[in-house]
Each structure stands twice: as C-alpha cells, then as structure tokens.
Amino acid sequence: MAYDNNTEYFAAAEAEDAVGVLSRKALDWFDTINTNGYISKVKECWLAYHGAYFGTDGHTISFDGEQGELVNLPVNHFRNIGQHILTMVTSTRPSFQARSTNTDYKSLVQTNLANQLLEYYMREKRLERHLKLAVEHSIVLGTGYIKMDWNATTGEIVDYNEELDTDIYEGDVEFTNLSTFDVVFDSTKESAHDGDWVICRSFKNKFDVAAKYPEQKEEIVNLKTKAEIDRHVMLGRAYDETVDIPVYEFYHKRTESMPDGRYLLYLGKDIVLMDTPMPYRRLPVYRISPADILGTPYGYTNMFDLLPLQDAINNLHSAVMTNQNAFAVQNLYVPRGADINVNSLTGGLNVIEGNPVANVAGGGMPQPLQLSASAPETFNYIAQLENSMETLSGVNSVARGNPEASLKSGNALALIQSQALEFISGLQQEYIMVIEDVGTGLIDLLKDFASVPRVAAVVGKINKTEMKEFTGADIDSVNRVMVDVGNALARTTAGKVQIADNLLQMGVIKTPEQYFSVMDSGRLETMTESTTNQLLLIRAENERLVDGSKDILSIATDAHALHLAEHQGVLADPDLRLDAELVKRTLDHIQQHITLLRETDPDLLTMMGQQPLGPVGGSPVSAENVPQTPVNAGGEEMPLQNPEAVSMAPNLEGLPEPAEPAPVVDNRPMS
C-alpha cells in the first residue's frame, strides 16, 4: 500500500516510505536556510572565528592588488570576544543536585549516589568537555548540540547470548557533539523546542557499520564517504581520503499519534538498519542557543552582529599597513641640480629629483618626505569600531583585561565587569538548563539500561576517590537533576579569600587544609560534609523509629544537640502522637542522647564543640550524686565514662571537730 500524506502520518508509515519523507524534509530544511542566507552567515562566523580572512587562513600577512601593492592585515577581535564569552559562561564548574520523588532515607542515599555518578561522568567520561563545546558552537554558530545515547556494544563482556550467537556487553552512555549542519528539526515549528521529532547525522567507519549489519554489507561499503559529500557540510567537500560514511538517526517522541514513539537508523532511502519503538524517555539531542530568531527554530547569536565590524577593522588595519609598507622606508626630496652624490646613499633609500624651488628650506638641502603618516581619524575610527564590538557583545574592556584609563578604583572595575556578566546571563541560564536536561537524561539512561553491575570511580568520604559498584536500581528514586553554578563571588581569587576569611572568623574553618581547600575551589563541601552525614543518619533513625525498629544506637560522638532537634520532629505529627509505643520509643532514644551528654567525658564533648550537661537538677557535685555505675536509656549498666569523677568531692572524714566559740565579754563601762 502506497504512503498517502493526506491520510497517514509519515512517522507511522512503513520504514522505506518514512525514510523517503525524512530525506525530503532534510533537504527542505537546508534549502530554506540556504535561501534565507542563514547558512552563509554561519559559515562566515566559522571562518572569522578561526581567523580565515582575505581568502587565507588569516594567520599571515597577504598581499593583493594588481602588483601586490595592497597589504592584508587581519586583527581578530571576533575570536577574542567569543572566547571571553565562553570563559565567562563556563568558568564555574557546575554542581549537580539530584532530586528524588520522596525524602526518605533511601531516596536521600540514592540522590547522593546520583550526584557522585554525575561528577564521575563529568570528570572521567569528559561530559564537561562536550558541554563546553556545545556552548562554543552556540556562541559562534548560533546553536550547539549534544547527542547522548546508550551504546550497548561498549564496556566489558558480561554474558553470552546463545540464541543470537553474540556477546553481551555492559554498555555505557555515549556523548557526541553535533554541528548546525548535522541536525534537522521540523522547520514549520515556531521553536525548536516544540517539535516532536529530530533527525541527526553522524559519521562512522563504513566497515564497522558493515560488520555490525553483515546482511547489507555490499550496499554499505559502496556508499559515498564524507570526503565525497559537498553539500550540507561546514567547509564544502573534503579531499582527504576517509572511510567514514554518514549515518542518520530519526527519533520521535511518545505522543498521542505515536504512543511508543519511533527510532529509525538508516543510511539512505534504501538502507534501513533498524526500526524500533523510541528507546529513550525523551529526545536524546539536547540543544543550546544564546537566543532564537523569533518565530523560527533557528538559533541567533550576537556574534552575527560583529561580522561587519570585524571586516571594517581588518580593512582599516590593512590600509594603515599598506601605507606603512609602501612608505616606511625613508624617501628624500632633492632639488634637481643639487650637488649630491647618489652613490653615497645606501640602505635602499630613494632619491627623488625635482626642479629647484627658491624657497626650499635649507637652500636645496635634501628633505625627508613623511608619506607613511596616516590620518588620526583612521586610528580614532578603529578604536570606535572596537568599542562598538564590545558594546554589541556585552564584553567590555574591563572583562578583556584592557580597562579605560578613567577606571582606576576597584569598585568601578568590579561594577563594569559585573555588567558584562549580567549581559550574558541569558546564555548562562541556557547553559544551566541544558546541563540539567543532560544530567536528567543521563540518570534516566542509567536507570533504564544499566542492568548489570558496573564500577565507577566516585568521590567518597573526606573527598577520597573510591571505586563503587552500582546498577540502575540503585538510583531508581531519582527523577530530576538540578544544577547550582555557585556564587559569582567565588569565581574570583579575591572572592575566595573573602569567603575563606569569613568562615575562619565564624569558626567554621578549623584547619589550614580546610582554609586552602576553600581558597582553591571556592566550594564549601568539605566544611559541611560532617553535618550532611549526621543529617542522613538522623533521617534513617527517624524512619526506623516510625517503623518500630528498636535497633537504634546512640554513641558518645554523635552530634547530640542536632539529634535532639531533629528527633523531636517525629512527634510533630498529631496523628503519630496517638501511637503510645512510638512516643515511648522516640522519647527513650532522645533520653539516650541526654544521658550521653551528662555521662560522656566532658573533654571529649568540648573538643567536638558540644556543651556537656551538668548533673540532674543542677545540684553540686558530691560523693553522693556522682554516678558510680551509670545506666543507659534501656536500664542496662554502662562503664563509667570518667572514673576520676568519684574523687572530685572533698573528703570530710578525719578532720577535727570545730572548737566551741568563746563566751562574749561585755567590757563597756558602767554608767
């Protein structure tokens, strides 16, 4: 049955018909952006960013004109500004905060593991590099992309499938950066985020593809390679020999018309390698753009506005350089008939003869000609163009390390730089959102596909790296990833010093190692790790109290005040207070902490920053009220924590009886 566009949704058609429609849609996408000049703009930005001006690679002085008399001198402010924007957006390393549906102890432990896994993929799997490259693409080309999917044929072999006669691998997440020329959205949508599907192209070794799909080996190895493709690529046809061929993937969301979604892997209209339901929860292609062209799915960047200004700067620098090159070697004017020995002039100097003029200064002496001088207006206009580029991009002279002479105070410099950071806050917000989406998608992939145990190097206690085994079930409670990019003050050295000094004054920092940790990173995890662990312990104990567990142990080194404050929250529910056994369990456990505060060595409590409690009722210490054999909350005897306490009371035995007072004699005179 032939495919009918009027009665059948193309995404639900037979694979061959669907691929044919997708090929036409891709061609329409590129024809549209070629007709409206968008592709030309993107290519010009790519060339300018890499210094390819005047038809050369841009990193050399070239000559033009009929006799090579014109000098081409590029001065690439375009790239410098783009690099500053990239640095300001990505300089602070993002901090992941995984979120779970519930707040029970198990969920909190899983979110902690999820945070560690996200850091592992950022560090070990180089996800951070892919994120920064996507941001760089968006700054220069208007849009950047990351494709994140599950590669089932990577990692260690964990089993063997006898039915399919193939090895089973543990698999892993795979990241790929895609350019503007490798992604196609629905061009009829007013935003790229409104589309239900996406087509992406990547290049893979055709012999690897043929080995994976041997039934179509002949068709695969005969396909055109990347070097033979001259359309829809950044620089046109490449001439280096390669065996890479374009591989196309089509992803469709789960929608009302496509409840299972769809995934197509194909190499052309006639070669469909895979046709399955959508394997992922969301589209695995993540997009970032500084802004969008309103009403279209095309990205926009302020770097588009800098292109003509950069061309003008290059032309003016070239004009000055042409003048200097032609006339920088000194020329002399000599009246004709002057008694000058031409042979005495060396070093390539030129002598220009002319008719003698009566009022020539020097009475016919040779005069230098200052032909190399350029008009001051030329240099002033170059400076104005540079200022215009900084204004349009939001990257001011302070951010570029070249402040104006009038800006001398630190406050003024800080204000100007903060304005640059505020200007690019829109792109930074986009950066945060794409990291959150990628992080959430990464956790979803691990939950759905990491079915066999795998090992990751995570940051364990006291910031030491340790190997941890996990499966997707260990993070199944995590449903969202949030990102904290940190305090802007902590980005600067001065800000880190101020934070460290404030923490030192407040007593939060207690060791030189902690001080320098804050100085180096600006992050406070090392300061709060102990408290975080105590809160996790308390949450687990509260859950056990509610569940009826009696295996809850308090020890001398607990943060007793924190435990007391948090445990009382168990009984803050009026319904739970009706459970007499729960009330007793909770109060008995609270009493354990109170008893430990009284009976633990006061020196130990003081060293941990805790306040020891005095005896019951506040009575003075004596031989009678010093506990000889203390008991815990359960009535069991405990060893005396401080045996020396029994000798603290004064020994009154053996002292002599006090003498009776002498009688009082009245020696007053009689009246």
Contact 288, 430 (CB under 8 A): yes
Sheet holding 350-354, edge to edge: 350-354, 331-335, 367-369
User: Is residue 375 predicted with pLDDT exceeding 90?
Assistant: no
What is the Cα 231 distance to its own chain's centre?
34
R_g of the chain, CA atoms, integer Å: 39
User: Is residue 180 predicted with pLDDT exceeding 50?
Assistant: yes
User: Is residue 233 predicted with pLDDT exceeding 70?
Assistant: no
Neighbours of 182 (CB within 10 A): 21
pLDDT digits over 275-328, tens only? 999 999 999 999 999 999 998 889 999 999 999 999 999 999 999 998 888 777
pLDDT band at 604, cuts 50/70/90?
confident
Contact 225, 243 (CB under 8 A): yes
Contact 119, 460 (CB under 8 A): no
Question: For residue 95, what is the enclosing H or E element?
Answer: strand 95-100
User: Is residue 598 predicted with pLDDT exceeding 80?
Assistant: yes
pLDDT band at 644, cuts 50/70/90?
very low
CA distance 249 to 483: 29
* Across 429-442, average pLDDT: 91
Mean pLDDT, rounded, of the chain: 78
* Across 340-361, average pLDDT: 53
Lowest-pLDDT range of 445-459, 543-557, 651-665: 651-665
pLDDT digits over 474-527, tens only? 888 888 888 876 555 555 555 666 667 777 777 667 677 667 666 665 555 556
pLDDT at residue 358, as a whole number? 52
pLDDT band at 167, cuts 50/70/90?
confident
pLDDT band at 628, cuts 50/70/90?
very low
Q: Which residues are paired to 95 by β-bridges? A: 484
pLDDT at residue 526, as a whole number? 59
pLDDT band at 617, cuts 50/70/90?
low
pLDDT at residue 401, as a whole number? 64
pLDDT at residue 311, as a whole number? 94
* Percent of the chain whose predicted confidence (pLDDT) is above 90: 29
CA distance 38 to 43: 9
The length of the chain in residues reads 671
User: Is residue 256 predicted with pLDDT exceeding 90?
Assistant: yes
pLDDT digits over 59-91, tens only? 888 888 888 888 899 999 999 999 989 988 888
Q: For the whole model, what pTM was predicted?
A: 0.70
CA distance 276 to 530: 48
User: Is residue 594 predicted with pLDDT exceeding 70?
Assistant: yes
pLDDT band at 183, cuts 50/70/90?
very high
Sign of CA dihedral 23, 28, 33, 39: positive
pLDDT digits over 104-115, tens only? 667 777 888 888
pLDDT band at 403, cuts 50/70/90?
low
User: Is residue 438 predicted with pLDDT exceeding 90?
Assistant: yes
pLDDT digits over 315-324, tens only? 999 999 988 8
Distances (CA, A) of 543 to 463, 473, 477, 539: 28, 21, 17, 6
Strands (E), 360-464: 367-369, 454-459
Closest CA to 139 of 45, 8, 233: 45
CA atoms lying within 13 Å on the CB side of residue 438: 32
Lowest-pLDDT range of 120-134, 169-183, 416-430, 545-559: 416-430
How large is the angle between the packed helices 38-49 and 127-141, nearest 10 degrees?
120
pLDDT at residue 540, as a whole number? 82
User: Is residue 1 predicted with pLDDT exceeding 80?
Assistant: no
Helices and strands, counts by H and E, the chain: 17, 21
* Across 324-343, average pLDDT: 66
Contact 455, 468 (CB under 8 A): yes
